[in-house]
Amino acid sequence: MKIILSRLVAVREVPVFLALLLVLIVTGIANPQFVSASGAQDIFLGVAVIATLCVGQTFVITMRHIDLSVGSTAGFTAYMIGKVSGDHHGLGISLLVALAIGLLVGAVNGFLVAYLRLPSLVVTLASLWIVRGIFNQVAGGNTITDNQVPSALGYLGRHSFAYIPYIFIIAFALVLFASFIMHSSRPARDLYAMGSNPPASELAGIPVIKRTFFAFLASGAVSGLGGAILLARFHSADSNSGLGLELNVIAACVVGGVAVAGGVGTPYGALIGALLLQSITQALGALGVSQFWQLAVNGVLLISAISLDRYLTLRIKPTRILRVKS
């Protein structure tokens, strides 16, 4: 029993999942309204965009990098989808534009980090600003309104299957798919190796540069898709869309067990992390706690997550010098 328990706790996603259950149960007892279908719907809606972006971020963080540009990219693509579609082009072309923007940002990030070996924190901070700057220039003071949103996206954003919003189902499917890839494809396993021990991964003959580039490219592409979900969710977009989203995404990843030190974590863990953060935000609302406390609680949660991580990983035996007397 003890062994099973310690194995379970060793699975990184389990403590987060338990915390999520705890939040739902405690809040549900205090305010039954919270565990209703509409309460769940609120959480799912709120999490769809972040969960999508977490997929790309997990690829990047796993190899001990970070992608700060995802919020700007998602916001920009949300706007561009509306703009292109509003100009009477089809959904297909709108989505292609979104994907192209995402891939372009990802390719630039990937090139600078992988081939020029620049630090990803700085590179993606720069691209966060550059994309946001271009976005502001393109959008000006304009707003994409409901009638410019492609009708298919609008439909997905408004409707649900058994109280589960379609956009959450899409995000969930993406997370499952990415989790499978992360577990079972060789390039993805290399990402774990690269994050776990960078010099050793070079020695093991892993094509580090190529893998790094493609991970950033994937993060860019996912950000483009995230833009589509963002537009579907809010039915509008302006130059502030997606502002600061990257921080929520990174927080969800970290809380969900995707350590910024690299080498560990899964997309579904990040999804659980996102659900936990969103549930807490909404639980605090349901419990009548002031909105202002919600950010502080998220902060405490982040610190708890990394503290737990350190406790679990830092128990290494000291090297012995004295011979064991036999």
Partner 1 sequence: MVTEAVPVLTISGATKNFGGVRALNGASLSLFKGEIHALLGENGAGKSTLLKTLAGVHRLDSGEIILDGKVFHEGSTKLAREQGIAVIYQEPNLFPDLTLAENVFAGRQLQLNHGKFVDWAGMQSAAQELFNQLGVPLNPRSKARGLSIADQQIVEIAKALSLNAKVIVMDEPTAALSSKEVERLFTVARGLAARDAAVVFVSHRLDEVFELTTRITVMRDGATVGTGITLDLTEKDVIHMMVGREISDLYPKIVTTPGRVVLSVKELAHDGLFENISFDVHAGEIVALAGLVGSGRSEIARAIFGIDKYTHGTITMNENRLAIGSPSESMAAGIALVPEDRRQQGLFMAASIAKNVSVTVLKRLQRGFWLQSKSEERTATSWGETLELKYADITDPVERLSGGNQQKIVLAKWLATKPSLLIIDEPTRGIDVGTKAQVHRLLSDEASKGLAILMISSELPEVLGMADRILVMREGVMVQELSRSEATSEKVIAAATGAVTV
Q: Contact residues for partner 1 (CB under 8 A)?
A: 183-186, 189-190, 192-193, 195-197, 199-206, 262-264, 313, 315-324, 326
Residue the block writes with tokens 């960078």 = 198
- CA of 31: how far to CAs of 34, 138, 277, 293, in Å? 6, 45, 18, 18
Can you tell me the distance from the alpha carbon of 270 to that of 257, in angstroms, rounded to the nearest whole number?
Answer: 7
- Cβ closer to partner 1: 88 or 325? 325
Closer to partner 1 by Cβ: residue 21 or 204: 204
Q: Which amino acid is at 110?
A: G
Identify which of residues 231 and 259 has a Cβ nearer to partner 1 in the complex. Answer: 259
Residue 66 neighbours by CB under 8 Å, 6+ apart: 57, 60, 120, 121, 124, 250, 260
Q: How far is the CB of 122 from partner 1 (least distance, A)?
A: 16
Q: How far is the CB of 318 from partner 1 (least distance, A)?
A: 7
Least Cβ distance, residue 316 to partner 1 (angstroms): 6
Quick check: 78 and 126 in contact, CB under 8 A? no
Separation between Cα atoms, residue 63 and residue 264, nearest integer Å: 9
If one counts every other C-beta atom within 10 angstroms of the C-beta of residue 169, the result is: 16
At its nearest, how many Å lie between partner 1 and the CB of residue 203? 5
- Rank residues 242 and 265 by Cβ distance to partner 1 and give the closer one: 265
Cβ 215 to partner 1 shortest distance, Å: 16
> Which residue's structure tokens are 């993805």?
188
Instruction: At 244, list the tokens.
Output: 């600061």
- Which residue number, 146 or 202, has a Cβ lying nearer to partner 1? 202
Is 88 or 117 the residue whose CB approaches partner 1 more closely?
117
- Phi then psi for residue 237, to 5 deg, are -155, 140
Q: How far is the CB of 216 from partner 1 (least distance, A)?
A: 20
